[in-house]
Structure 1
C-alpha cells in the first residue's frame, strides 16, 4: 500500500524544486537567447552558486547510493569515487579550467573540433553523449527503486514524474535553473542524510561500528592491487572530460574563479561523502533479518544496490526516512538535469551547428538545444524503464570517456601543435578496440583478450587494461600525428592526399587564432562566414551583439585596460576564425611544388 505521507512529501519537494527552477530561469536576461546566456548562464554564475553547482557535478544519486553500497559490500578502502572525483576536480582546476576558460569556449568539444575538424569532433561527441544519457538513465532507475522501497510507489510512475520535473525547468531555464536548483538540492542531500544517521546508528539492531571495524573499512589484496590502481586512475583522469564539469568551468566569470570553484568543489565532494559512508558502515553492522526487512538474507546484489534507502526505511522513523527520501530525490535530480543539459548543449552547438548548419542563428541553436533536451530526457527515461543493465552501459561509456576523450583533450589543450586529425582518428579506433576487447561483466560482454591475472571464474580483468588503453591511445595520437605530418611536410606524399585537410592541403579560409595577448585574456575564435564559429571574450559578462564581432561588454569590464580593448577591437577585422592550422604555416606547399 502506498504511503500517502511519503507521496505528499515528495510532491511538495518537487513543487519547491520546480518553483526554484522557474524562478532561476527568469534571471536570464530578457530578450537575450544567445548560446552563452542559455548554455553558460551568460558566464555570470556567482561564487556562492558556482561552488554549489560545481560540487553537484559529481554529488548526485549515483554518488551517494554508490558510496553507501561500496562501503557495505567491499569496505571503505574500495570506496574510491569520493576521493577520485575530488582529485579529479583539483587536477581539472590546475591543468584545464584556466586554459579552457581563457579561450572562452562554449562546450568541452570546442577545442577538439578546432584542432581535429568538425566531423572528427562529431565522432568524439558519441562517447560523451552516451556517458551523459546512460548516467541520467541509471540514476532515474535508482530513484524509481528507492521510492518503491520507502513509500511502495510504482517505480515507473516515479521515474516518469521525476524526469518530467527535471526536464521542465531545464528546458526553460537552461544553466540558470540547473545551477540554482543545485543549491537547494545539495542542502537537501546534506540535511536529509545527516538527520537520518543518529536514528540509524542508535537502532537496537545495529552493532557498534568499533566491533566490525575490519569489515566496514575493508582491505585490498595483493592480487587486486593493479585493478585497484586502474579504477582509481579512471576516476581521477576519466572524471575530467565531462561536459557537466566544463559547463560550470566555462560559465564562471573569469579563469581564476573557475579554478577556485574546482578546488572548493573538491573539498565539497569529500564532505558530502561522509554521510553515505557512515550509512554504509551502519548497514554493515545491521542484522537485517531482525529488522522489518523481509527480503533475501544475506543480501543479494540487487539489495546491496539499495542499501541507502533500506537504512532509511528500516532503521529510522517515518518522518526521518521521508527527509532522507527527499535527499535521494534531490541527488538524482541534480545529476539528471545536468546530464540532460550537457548532452543537449553539445549536440546543438558541436553537431547541429558546426557540422550541419554553420550559419544557423543564435535563436535557432537555442531552440535546437531545447528540442534536444526533450529528446535526451525521453531517451534517459525510456532506458531507465526498459534496460536492466543501465549501470553496465554507463560503466562502459565512462570507460570510453577515459580511454578516448581524456588523451585527446589533454593534447589539444596543452600540446595542440603535436596532434592532428589523422592521429585523432587512429587513437579513437585503438582505444575503442582495446576497451571493448577487455570485456564488461555487467553487460555480459566477453573479454576477447585475457590480460595477465585474468579471473576465469569471475570473468574479471585484474590487469589495468583501461589505463593501458588510455596510454596506447595517447601514444597512437602523437605517433600517427607526427608520422603524417612528416610524410606531408617532407613531400613524400602530395598535398592532394591530405584528405582531412589538416597538414598541408588546408582551405584558404581556415586560420588559427593568434596566441593570447600578454595583457588580459585572449579574445578567441571570432566567427568567420565559412566556419561559423564564435567564442566570446574569456572574461566578458553581459550582452553580445552576436554578429560575429567583439562583445561590447569589453567596455564594462574594468579589468581590461583601454589600450587592450582597442587592440582587440582592431584585431577582429584583421583575421579571426580558426581551426586546425595556420595558412601562414603553408609555405610547405611552395616547397613541395619546388621539389616537383
Structure 2
C-alpha cells in the first residue's frame, strides 16, 4: 500500500494521455493480449459468482455477517491466500520494481515492513479482536466511545481505502495500456465493474475465493516472467550492475528511513481489509497464524518484483523495440513507475508477457475488491446502523436492510474510486497522506481502545486532535503545505523534515490518550468530579443491555464484549478445539 508515495509525482503524464498516445500507434490494440485478459477476467468473474452463492445476501435469510465476515467460516488455507493477495496489490508489485530501479533495493522497505506488520498483527491484535467477536475494526470504538468518536475515526479509514483502491485501478490502466494498447479509461472501468459486481453478490465469500485464484496467477505470472527477461540479450548480468539497483543509505537518511519503516510496520495494522480477514477466521488460533504465514508469503511475492526492477536497471534499452516506440535510448525517470509492464512488453515473449500482465491485473483486483468491501462494511455497520437508530428514535435496522444498504455502498464507493482513478491526477499523493493518518491517528487509538481499560472519550479526542496538529505541522510537500513546526534536524535548504516526525506525532498522540484518559478516569471514579459532569458518559461502563445497536455482536462470541478485553476463557476453548 505504501509505495504510492512517490508515484504521484509521475501520474500526471498518464492522465494527460501522453503514454496512451505513444503506445496506441495507429490505434492498434494487441488482439491476443486483449483475448488473454478477457479470459482471465471471465475466470475470476465465474469464481466470484460461484463463491458468492455460499453467502446469505438475498431474501428473508439475508445476513450481514455472511457478507462482511463470510459467516466466520474462512478456513486457514483460504484465509492465508486472501490476506496475502490483499496486501500484494498493484502498488506492492509495481512499487517494488520501481523502487529497486529508482532508489535501490535498500529502500524497498515494504516487503519486510509488511511481513513484520502482519506478524505483529497476528501476535498482538488478532487474538483480542477475534475472541471479542467484533464485526469490524471500529466496533471497539463504537462500544467504548459511542458513534461520534467512531465517525471521526471512520474518516481516515474511509479515505485510506478509497484513495488506495483508486490509485491501484489507475496503475492497472497504465499497465494494460503499455502491454496491449488498451485505452486507460476502458481498462479501469472494466476492472472496477467486475470487482464491484462479484463483491456485490457474495461479499467476503466472493472476495476470498477469487483471491485464491488471483494469488496463484500472481505467483505463476511473475515467477515465470523474470527468468525470461533476465536472459534477454539486452540485459547485463545483475551482479555487474548491482551498484545501480542495490542502492545506499547516508547518515542524513536515518530519520526518514526509520520513520518510513515504522510507518509500514505499525501503520499497516489498523486497516479494515486486514481485520476483515482476521475476524472471519473460524478460531482465535487460526486468526493469529493466518496473519503470520501471510506475512511470509508477502515476502515471497516481492522476489520477482525486485528481480524485475534489477533487470530494468541492467538493460540496454537501445537493443530493444522500446527505442522505436518511445524514441528514447533509456527509460526516463518519470516512467520508472511503469518499469514492470515495460519489462514484460519488451524483454519477454508475448505469451509470457500476457501471463505476467494477468498477474498484475490479479494483484490489482485482489486489492480493489477488498478495499471496496472494507469501506462498505464499515459504513453499513458502524455508520448506518447507529444513525438509523438515532433518526428512528431507537428502532433498529433489520438484517435485510443493512445488507441492502451495504450493497448500495459497494456500488457507490466502487463508482467513486473509478471516477477518481480516471480523472484525478493527485490520487497517489492523497492516498499516501491518508496512510500517514492511519499510522498517526488510528494506530495509537486502536492500541488504547483494546489494551487500556481506562481509555475514554476525553483521552481519545485529545489524542485525535494532537495527532492531527503534529502531523500537519510537519508540512506536506505534495500539497505545498509549509511546515509550521520545525522538528530537529530540519533541512532548511530543501525545506524537508529529517526528524521522524510521523512516529513522534503517533507517540505523542498515544501518550495523550493514555494520560488524559487516566486523569479523567481517576476524577470520576473517585468522585473528585461529580458523575453528572461526565458529559461524554464514557468513564462509567454501560450495562450490556444499553449497548448501541451497532455495538451488538452476533452469536455466542457476544460474551466477550462486556469488558472489551481479551476473553481468555473463550480463547482457550477455541484453541483447544483447534488442536482437537
**Same structural fold, with TM-score higher than 0.5 when normalized by the shorter chain:** yes
Distance 1:194 1:162 in 2: 23
Partner residue of 2:86 out of 22, 41, 57:
57
Alignment correspondent of 1:419: 455
1:312 and 2:344 are equivalent in the alignment: yes
1:533 and 2:551 are equivalent in the alignment: yes
Paired residues, number: 526
Distance 1:112 1:533 in 2: 9
Partner residue of 2:119 out of 81, 90, 106:
90
TM-score, length-scaled by structure 1: 0.85
Deviation at 1:487, TM superposition (A): 3.3
Partner residue of 2:408 out of 371, 377, 384:
371
Pick closer, same or farther for the CA change 1:81–1:407 going to 2, 3 Å.
same
Does the 8 Å contact 1:119/1:355 carry over to 2? Answer: no
Partner residue of 2:482 out of 433, 446, 468:
446
Distance 1:458 1:329 in 2: 38
Q: Deviations over 1:382-424 (max 9, x none)?
A: 1111111111111110010011111111111112x23100111
**SS at 2:203 equivalent:** helix
Alignment correspondent of 1:360: 397
Distance 1:49 1:188 in 2: 15
Pick closer, same or farther for the CA change 1:538–1:408 going to 2, 3 Å.
farther
Alignment correspondent of 1:543: none
TM-score, length-scaled by structure 2: 0.87
Deviation at 1:455, TM superposition (A): 3.4
Partner residue of 1:117 out of 141, 146, 168:
146
Q: Deviations over 1:493-535 (max 9, x none)?
A: 443332211125x7xxx325xxxxxxxxxxxxxx758645321
Alignment correspondent of 1:544: none
**SS at 2:335 equivalent:** helix
Distance 2:379 2:481 in 1: 29
Pick closer, same or farther for the CA change 1:444–1:308 going to 2, 3 Å.
farther
Deviation at 1:453, TM superposition (A): 2.8
**Structure with max Cα Rg:** 1
Alignment correspondent of 1:3: 30
Partner residue of 1:249 out of 271, 278, 281:
278
1:201 and 2:230 are equivalent in the alignment: yes
Deviation at 1:356, TM superposition (A): 3.3
1:130 and 2:159 are equivalent in the alignment: yes
Pick closer, same or farther for the CA change 1:559–1:483 going to 2, 3 Å.
closer
Which structure 2 residue ranges, 5 or more long, are not aligned? Answer: 1-27, 559-572
RMSD between superposed Cα atoms in Å = 2.1
Pick closer, same or farther for the CA change 1:264–1:308 going to 2, 3 Å.
same
The within-5 A match list for 1:96-175 is 96-175=125-204
Distance 2:222 2:252 in 1: 35
Alignment correspondent of 2:299: 270
Deviation at 1:90, TM superposition (A): 0.4
Which structure 1 residue ranges, 5 or more long, are not aligned? Answer: 513-526, 541-557, 562-596
Partner residue of 1:351 out of 379, 383, 392:
383
Q: Deviations over 1:55-82 (max 9, x none)?
A: 1131111110111111111111110101
Q: More helix per residue: 1 or 2?
A: 2
Pick closer, same or farther for the CA change 1:532–1:180 going to 2, 3 Å.
closer
1:18 and 2:16 are equivalent in the alignment: no
Distance 2:102 2:433 in 1: 21
1:429 and 2:475 are equivalent in the alignment: no
Does the 8 Å contact 1:344/1:373 carry over to 2? Answer: yes
Does the 8 Å contact 1:254/1:538 carry over to 2? Answer: no
Report which structure shows greater RCO (CA 8 Å, sep ≥6).
2
Deviates more, 1:307-316 or 1:332-341: 307-316
Distance 2:225 2:109 in 1: 23
Does the 8 Å contact 2:114/2:295 carry over to 1? Answer: yes
